[in-house]
Amino acid sequence: MSYLLRIDASDSGDASVSRQVADSFTAAWGGDVVRRDLALTPVGHLDAAGITARTTPADEHTPEQKAAALLQDELVEEFLGAEAYLFAVPLYNYSMPSVFKAWLDQIMIVGRTIGVAGGARSAGRPAVVVSARGGGYGPGAPQHGKDFLVPALRTVLGDPNLLALDVRSLTPELTYARTMDALRHLLPQHRASLEEAHAQARRQAAEITGRSGLPRSG
């Protein structure tokens, strides 16, 4: 079975703009969806047992290595079983939430998900990153150049020698305009950015579904 793998990393629940835009994508998706919510059920950070389990024969694993290997197997199989990916990952302190970094570290294994000489099994599969942010990070904005999330994920997810996904991003901005008096005057720009992100999410879902040949929803 092939499916869309959706990973959520925001700890803001239903109030999360990243989740809301990802919901628009999911609603327009034409096939099955497997969802992992890292805020509700975080995976552990990669530790010594997880690292050494990768190079130690299975029959020599300690109990800790066995547990670590089981988790990695589960996450890797879930990742490789998908034909497309949706990552709802808000910008936290200029970077990604630690729960998402933990998930990445668990699945990135040379010879399994990381390709050798460009041979990643996930090569060319589409991936959409939805990353809401409180301020403005585009050219001319005060925070321009301080987004260390989308560029990092484009590298980690898209590099031909890593996961080699076809990465595109949606970045609804100025979410602080809803709650910070000093930014209230930017509410129209926030609403326009959010509306465009929802529209792009629906378009991307339709495009990817059409490209994959999955049945469209009615």
How far are the Cα atoms of 118, 138, 152, 192 from residue 11, in angstroms, in the given order?
34, 25, 21, 24
In 3D space, the residue among 12, 9, 29, 6 whose CA is nearest the CA of residue 201 turns out to be 29
In 3D space, the residue among 146, 145, 125, 144 whose CA is nearest the CA of residue 208 turns out to be 125
Say yes or no to pLDDT of 118 above 80.
no
Is 150 contained in some domain? yes
Is 106 contained in some domain? yes
- The string of pLDDT tens digits covering residues 129-140 is 999 999 999 898
* pLDDT value of position 132: 97
% of the chain exceeding 70 in pLDDT: 94
Say yes or no to pLDDT of 2 above 70.
yes
Q: What is the mean pLDDT of residues 60-84?
A: 98
Is 217 contained in some domain? no
- The string of pLDDT tens digits covering residues 128-172 is 999 999 999 989 888 999 999 999 999 999 999 999 999 999 999
Say yes or no to pLDDT of 214 above 60.
no
- Encoded tokens for 2: 């092939």
- The string of pLDDT tens digits covering residues 15-32 is 999 999 999 999 999 889
- Encoded tokens for 81: 């079983």
Domain CATH code at residue 12: 3.40.50.360
Domain ranges, residue 108 = 4-212
Decide: residue 191, CB within 10 A, 0-12 exposed, 13-18 middle, 19+ buried: middle
% of the chain exceeding 90 in pLDDT: 88
* pLDDT value of position 100: 98
Is 218 contained in some domain? no
Say yes or no to pLDDT of 216 above 70.
no
Is 194 contained in some domain? yes
> Which long-range contacts does 178-187 make (Cβ < 8 Å, 24+ apart)?
183/135, 186/136
Is 186 contained in some domain? yes
Overall number of domains in the chain: 1
* Gap between the Cα atoms of 74 and 63, Å rounded: 17
Is 50 contained in some domain? yes
Is 52 contained in some domain? yes
In 3D space, the residue among 104, 96, 97, 127 whose CA is nearest the CA of residue 25 turns out to be 127
